[in-house]
């Protein structure tokens, strides 16, 4: 039986009334969990797993429910990121960079609609990739060792040069701050304490959620208070609720490129949605942000991370189903769910459990389509949040932030760290320091350091391992091209085009025009 035959068999399983109901319910629950800071996909799956098992659901129905929760959470994380500048989950952190500025311009509705469509396209195309190229890409995933991961992170940092903009010093300082936050804790190799200041609660490092909620949510609250005290204008303009065809066409190549990046990064074990969205955002900024509008409310800066983080879901399922290797924390929990039913994922899973595997893949198509249908009509309801008075909105953000951080750590010290980082971020933002380099340095720094350490441990300290395989050589070449090719091309274009003012602006014009 070919791929299409297996897929039809899968749809016959996924379209059973009970499985269809579980996929729709899981998508809705996941969306709500993704929108609330602190929960996210992994907590959503962990919460639903024992309930499904205790209810006596069979393996295929359980996995369909959990996958729908996983995908719904990735879909819903964008809501609070855009409206409140509070990332719903790790994959939605980058969404705040352009999503919230768009909301401030009165474009919350189009931003939510565009992010939903980008998420749908990214998610749907990644499932197509899982369906037809899963086994092939699994071989690529196992060829990535520590050296390849390290150079992949070098490539990601090379794309960060696009963040320099008109304030390279501030961007470099921001990146260094992010890297410093990433190395807090006990060095796993030498046991040396780094930036712990004798505080035992910092030995395990700073929790990701604590950092992003502090940097974005708390600093946003302080800015809202400042504007409210100074009599600033509150965001009450909601305007239209749908994205225009022109705005969608502006983002089409960004969505497609970010989908490919998100899917490939998702295939690599240990990366996940946050790394996928960070790499896609910085890559798009390097490729298309000629007017310097990224970070100020550019539709392409919103579409890139949303397409990538949803595409990473399909990618993460590739190594889990074909090799038994989880591609992210959430797929690790899904792996455990399969083992609860005495099913061992691996190369033989597609042959031994075809109804289960293809049923889950078919349900992913259904859940993705259902998420778009559910979310688009809710855009108008979501945007009502912006019309809440400050005396409700500001305490609401604080309560969501505190509950989110405390539910993950159960520690009052984490709350103090969150507040401290929030005050620090508020000072940086008032001094016009960009937050994007800080977040990207923090997201990529830890994985880069771990990969370098493991690579050097394998080679006995020989640095040649970082230049040995064909994959690392390709990545080194790409990194050099990302840094130096734009400099060369800019000089070439500058010589051919005497009047830069004649170059038509696209994103900036669209966004600014709609805001007015």
More confident residue, 165 or 189: 189
Residue 460: C-alpha distances to residues 414, 450, 455, 463, 465 (Å): 38, 15, 9, 9, 10
Q: What is the mean pLDDT of residues 111-118?
A: 89
| Whole-number Å distance between alpha carbons of 318 and 346 | 10
Pair 95, 298: CB distance under 8 Å: no
Q: What is the mean pLDDT of residues 390-402?
A: 79
pLDDT tens across 296-329, in order? 888 998 899 989 988 888 888 887 777 666 666 6
Given a cut of 50, whether residue 514 has pLDDT beyond it is no
Nearest one of 26, 118, 17, 120 to 67, comparing CA atoms: 26
Compute φ and ψ for 237, nearest 5 degrees: -80, 120
Q: Which helix (H) or strand (E) holds 185?
A: strand 185-186
The confidence band for 38, taking pLDDT boundaries of 50, 70 and 90, is low
Q: Which residue stretches of 143-207 are H helix?
A: 146-159, 168-182
Q: In the predicted model, what is the mean pLDDT of residues 399-414?
A: 80
Q: What is the enclosing helix (H) or strand (E) of 186? A: strand 185-186
Nearest CA to 78 out of 62, 55, 94 is that of 94
Q: Give this prediction's pTM.
A: 0.72
Q: Confidence class of residue 489 from pLDDT cuts 50, 70 and 90?
A: low
Q: Which of 251, 256, 258, 306 is nearest to 279 (CA)?
A: 258
pLDDT of 121 reads: 92
Cβ atoms < 10 Å from Cβ of 74: 32
Determine the pLDDT at residue 255: 92
For the segment 414-429, the average pLDDT, to the nearest whole number, is 89
Which phi and psi (to 5°) does residue 186 adopt?
-85, 130
Strand, helix or coil at 297? coil
Query: For residues 420 and 481, which has the higher predicted lDDT (pLDDT)?
Result: 420
Mean pLDDT for 113-118 is 89
pLDDT tens-place string over residues 65-84: 888 888 888 777 788 788 87
Q: Is the dihedral of CA 129, 131, 135, 138 positive or negative?
A: positive
Average pLDDT for the chain: 78
């Amino acid at each position: 039986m070919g791929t299409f035959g297996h897929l039809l068999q899968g749809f016959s399983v996924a379209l059973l009334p009970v499985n269809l109901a579980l996929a729709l319910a899981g998508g809705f629950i996941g969306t709500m969990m993704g929108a609330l800071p602190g929960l996210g996909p992994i907590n959503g799956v962990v919460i639903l797993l024992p309930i499904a098992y205790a209810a006596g659901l069979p393996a295929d129905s359980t996995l369909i429910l959990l996958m729908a929760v996983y995908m719904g959470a990735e879909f819903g994380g964008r809501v609070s990121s855009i409206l409140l500048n509070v990332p719903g989950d790790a994959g939605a952190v980058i969404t705040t960079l352009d999503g919230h500025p768009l909301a401030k311009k009165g474009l919350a509705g189009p931003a939510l609609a565009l992010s939903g469509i980008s998420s749908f396209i990214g998610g749907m195309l990644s499932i197509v990739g899982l369906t037809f190229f899963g086994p092939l890409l699994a071989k690529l995933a196992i060829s990535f060792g520590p050296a390849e991961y390290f150079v992949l992170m070098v490539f990601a940092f090379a794309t960060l040069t696009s963040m320099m903009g008109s304030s390279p010093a501030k961007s470099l300082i921001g990146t260094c701050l992010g890297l410093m936050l990433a190395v807090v804790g006990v060095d796993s190799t030498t046991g040396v304490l780094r930036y712990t200041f004798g505080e035992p609660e910092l030995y395990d490092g700073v929790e990701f959620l604590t950092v992003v909620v502090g940097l974005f949510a708390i600093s946003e609250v302080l800015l809202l208070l400042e504007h409210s005290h100074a009599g600033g204008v509150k965001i009450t303009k909601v305007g239209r609720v749908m994205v225009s065809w022109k705005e969608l066409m502006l983002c089409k190549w960004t969505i497609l490129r970010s989908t490919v990046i998100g899917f490939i990064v998702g295939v690599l074990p240990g990366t996940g949605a946050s790394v996928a969205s960070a790499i896609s955002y910085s890559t798009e900024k390097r490729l298309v942000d000629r007017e310097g509008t990224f970070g100020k409310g550019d539709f392409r800066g919103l579409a890139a991370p949303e397409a990538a983080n949803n595409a990473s879901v399909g990618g993460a399922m590739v190594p889990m189903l074909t090799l038994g290797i989880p591609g992210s924390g959430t797929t690790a929990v899904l792996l455990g769910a399969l083992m609860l039913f005495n099913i061992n994922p691996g190369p033989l899973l597609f042959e031994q459990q075809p109804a289960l595997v293809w049923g889950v893949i078919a349900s992913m198509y259904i859940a993705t389509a259902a998420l778009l249908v559910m979310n688009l009509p809710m855009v108008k309801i979501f945007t009502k949040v912006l019309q809440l008075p400050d005396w409700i909105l500001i305490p609401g953000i604080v309560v969501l932030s505190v509950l989110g951080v405390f539910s993950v750590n159960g520690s009052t010290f984490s709350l103090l760290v969150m507040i401290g980082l929030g005050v620090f971020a508020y000072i940086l933002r008032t001094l016009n320091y960009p937050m994007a380099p800080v977040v990207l340095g923090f997201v990529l720094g830890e994985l880069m350091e771990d990969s370098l350490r493991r690579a050097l441990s394998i080679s006995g300290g020989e640095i040649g391992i970082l230049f040995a395989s064909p994959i690392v050589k390709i990545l080194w070449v790409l990194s050099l091209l990302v840094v130096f090719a734009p400099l060369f091309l800019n000089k070439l274009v500058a010589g051919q085009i005497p009047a830069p003012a004649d170059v038509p602006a696209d994103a900036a014009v669209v966004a600014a025009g709609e805001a007015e």
